Each structure stands twice: as structure tokens, then as C-alpha cells.
Structure 1
Amino acid sequence: MAAVVLVHGLYHRPEHFAMVAERLQTVGTEVVVPELHRGSLVADTAAVQAAVDALQEPPIVLGHSYGGSVITGVRGARRLVYLAAFVPDAGESAAGLGGASPKLQGAISPEPDGSTSLHPDRAAATLYGDCPGPLAAWAVALLRAQAPGCGRGVPERHSWKHTPSTYVVCAQDRAIDPGLQREMASRCTDVREWQTGHCPFVGQPRLIVELVRELLATNTSRSQDEGATTTR
């Protein structure tokens, strides 16, 4: 069965991908959405690696925002998809590449235990500004506090250097500058640009479903063609 692993970013939860996951499952795709917030980039990467290793076939692995740093360190993907995400090279971290925009930084509130959270109104405007009000409110209510330091983590490997990759630039993003996204996209095999905000899996899940299905079909067709060539 075709499979996809969806990797959320900072402050987010697997539930934010619910609409994408449900639609992909409806068309027969196996979907896994690991929980991050393991305390470090190394631990988050290990959680996603375990999800990839548990699947029978190499999956498409999609990372959103900080999730790009996570999937960069993962082995065994058939394709990587960076959704408004960081694409670190050797020695680089999400924070070092540019990190959060001033708008997103302005939404971050420190907590007494050293973690941070997002101010609800500012988070709605920054992350979900292109979503209807009730949908943005649903997404904001799911956000959780974030332990410090993950954004400064440096991946131990760089899978985009030897795995096919697609970058999706979100041109109306207020959380990660679209110009920075375009710079990072130059490291990937294929680039798309959508007129969306930072979180299209909330506002326009159809776009992600269509992209994943297209990439799965392209990969399958290529494998069949290669098999036919080998047979001849």
C-alpha cells in the first residue's frame, strides 16, 4: 500500500493534519502522523525514523516548517516534501537559516517552565490568516507549548542530497519569509509555489492531497517503466 508520513512543525500536533490524513486514507493511502515534541531535534527525528521503518514500503515523507529539519535527517523515504519548511545543510539549523519571521516572533510568549507558547490572536493572524475564522480558531485551540532548543538543532544527516525532493513555497506565508523559502527550495529537486499562508493543511488540505497523490502516481509509473526496461 502507498504510504505517506506527515511531520508537523513547532507548536503543532498531529491533529492539525487530520483533514489531509482523512482524505488520503479515503483513497487508499496509508497515513502516519508521528507526535513530535520529544525535547530535541535528535529525538523528534528518531520518532519519525521509527514510523518510516515500521512501514512495508518506502513512504513519501512530508515535513512542515520545523518538520523540514526533522525529515532532513530521516533515511528510507521514497521522496521528501518540504512544505514551507527548513532545508538545512551541514552545520545548519532552522534558527540559523533565518527561523521565525518577526510576526511569528511577536506571537511567542515565554512560560514559567522555560517553554514558550503562542498568543492565540497573533497565532491566528500569523499562521492561519488565510483561513475562515472558525477554522483558524479550531487550529489555534490545538496548538501546544513548545520546549526550547529544537529550532537550533542540527540534523546529523542530509537526506535531500540523495533522495528526490519537492519544495512547496507558501507565497502568502507570514511565519517563514517566502523569500527565504525560495532560497531553500533551490536545494530540492522540484519546486512548487502556492498562494497560501503557512498552514495549507488547515485552509486548503485539497492541495496537499492532490500533490501527494500526484507524487505517488509519478513514482509508481517511473518504477513500472524501469521494470519494463529491465525486462526487455
Structure 2
Amino acid sequence: MFRRTVALAAALLAIVSVTTLGPGAAAASTPRPKPTIVLVHGAFADSSGWNGVTARLRRAGYPVVAAANPLRGVASDAAQVTALLESIRGPIVLVGHSYGGAVISRAAVGDRDVKALVYVAAFAPVAGESGADLSAKFPGSTLADTLRPVPLPGGGEDLYVDPTLFRRQFAADVPASDAALMAVAQRPITAAALAEDAVGPQAWQSVRSYFLVAGADRNIPPKVQQFMAQRAKGVVRLVPRASHAVFVSQPGITASFIQQAASKA
């Protein structure tokens, strides 16, 4: 008799559990897919600069795309990144370094799949501001003194950082041998792109934003980075002695900060 009572109670408990949890219980326990991390480099760099960050994000299970930023102009570069975003299914965390910040600020406008923006020593302009304008907002940028122009056949000019000055200007905390290779492989930006004003709404005005501030940046002064972060009401992390190439010199910190943003996506 006792055994029958126990068996009946167990059966009733099983029925109640199934009824309460319902058919969606298994689905509810399924973890959400991780967002795709899209990395956009800036001037004087290329997609390979993200390698250390990419490796860490992939080990953490994130899909990663490192976009090739043409560095020809904010509007045209943003259009290319927008096209790339449209090819990706599911949530996205969009990351920009330096000039790439201006590009992602425009590229993500109106894209509901972009759940967070991460600015890595990057520009976050408002309409009417250019990268050149922002760099000069507070003292500290020495970039102009290191630039070497190359005239283009159709008019205008490309800008390179003098290779002999590259490490001090761009990557002071990167090992000398690596910085030397970066100087050789640097991709130029047009002078027009650095002077091009942002137009229209910017994505950071409506999307949660995160700012990794490089505390020893000679391209975009730290005060400028902090000003943009405060204006955007963004989440901020300061890396005190980091150069402009913080994503190269501090890939662990950079990847961790991106994951922080992705965890809220």
C-alpha cells in the first residue's frame, strides 16, 4: 500500500511538472546565439591588426568578421560597411578603431540588428564634425606633423605616416619589430576622408555605446575620446598607458571590453 501511494505521488508530481513547465521549457533553457562581432579598422592600419582580438573572440565562441575599410571617405566607406552588415543574420556588435568609429557611426544608422557599438580609440562625431575637427578639439595630437602626402592621379592625395615616426606616433607600446611591420603595411587614407564632415543622425545617438580610451594616444587625444564618450553617455574603460594602437598592444583588454558589450546584446 505504501509503495502504491509513493508511486501515485511521483506520477502526479511528474504530470504537474510537465504542465507547469510546458513545451517551451526546453527552448527556454537553450542559450541565445552569440552576436557576430564586426571589426572595422581605421587609417594607417588594416584588418590584420585585429588578429589578436579576433583570436580571443573566436576562442570565446563569437563569430567574427574583420571588414576591409577602403579609407576613401566617410560616406562611401560607411556604405560598404552597411552592405556587409546586411549580409549578416542575427544580432551584431559593431566595433570601430580610430577613423573607423566615424564609419560605424554612419553605417549602423537604422540597422536594428546592431545591438551595441564599441569605439576603440575612435571618433564618434555628430553631424558637421570631421575627424580633423575632433582631433583638434583638445591639445595633444601630433599626427599632422608625421603625415606624408602622396598625390593621386585623379586629384586629391593619400596620407601616410612617415615610417620612421610610425612607432612613436601610432604604436609606441607595440614591440618595435611588430611596429616596423605595421609601418610598412600601413594603408593610407585620403586627406578628404579625414576632413569629411559627418552627415545626418549617428548610430551612437540611439544604440548603446562603449568607449575604450587609449590614455597615451598621440593621434586622438584622450581628452577628445573622453569628451565623445561623455556626450554619448557611453560605457568607458580607460587604458592609461595605451597608444593609439591599443587594439594591437592590448588585445586581451580590447577583446574583454568587446565581450562586455556583446553580453548585453
Class of the TM-score when normalised by the shorter of the 2 chains: 0.7 to 0.9
TM alignment of 1:215-226, pairs within 5 A: 215-219=261-265
Which runs of no fewer than 5 residues in structure 2 stay unpaired? 1-33
TM-score w.r.t. length of structure 1? 0.88
CA distance in 2, matches of 1:38, 1:95: 14
The structural deviation recorded for 1:106 is 1.3
SS in 2 for 1:57: coil
Q: Deviations over 1:118-165 (max 9, x none)?
A: 111211111110112122123222202222311122243311111100
Equivalent residue number for residue 223 of structure 1: none
TM-score w.r.t. length of structure 2? 0.77
SS in 2 for 1:115: strand
Q: Please say if 1:193 is aligned against 2:193.
A: no
Equivalent residue number for residue 79 of structure 2: 46
SS in 2 for 1:80: strand
Among 181, 190, 193, the alignment partner of 2:225 is 181
Letter in 2 for 1:165: S
Equivalent residue number for residue 108 of structure 1: 147
Equivalent residue number for residue 170 of structure 2: 127
Equivalent residue number for residue 192 of structure 2: 149
Equivalent residue number for residue 86 of structure 1: 123
- The number of equivalent residue pairs is 219
CA distance in 2, matches of 1:38, 1:136: 20
Deviates more, 1:114-123 or 1:59-68: 114-123
The structural deviation recorded for 1:15 is 1.2
CA distance in 2, matches of 1:112, 1:124: 24
Q: Deviations over 1:76-109 (max 9, x none)?
A: 2110111111111122221222359542111100
Which runs of no fewer than 5 residues in structure 1 stay unpaired? 220-232
SS in 1 for 2:191: coil
SS in 2 for 1:33: strand
Equivalent residue number for residue 2 of structure 1: 35
CA distance in 2, matches of 1:69, 1:215: 19
SS in 2 for 1:90: coil
Query: Residues 155 and 81 of structure 1: is their aligned pair in 2 closer, same or farther, counting only changes over 3 Å?
Result: farther
SS in 2 for 1:78: strand
Structural RMSD (CA): 1.8
Q: Percent identity?
A: 29
| Contact persistence 2:212–2:257 (CA under 8 A) | no
SS in 1 for 2:190: coil
Equivalent residue number for residue 168 of structure 1: 212
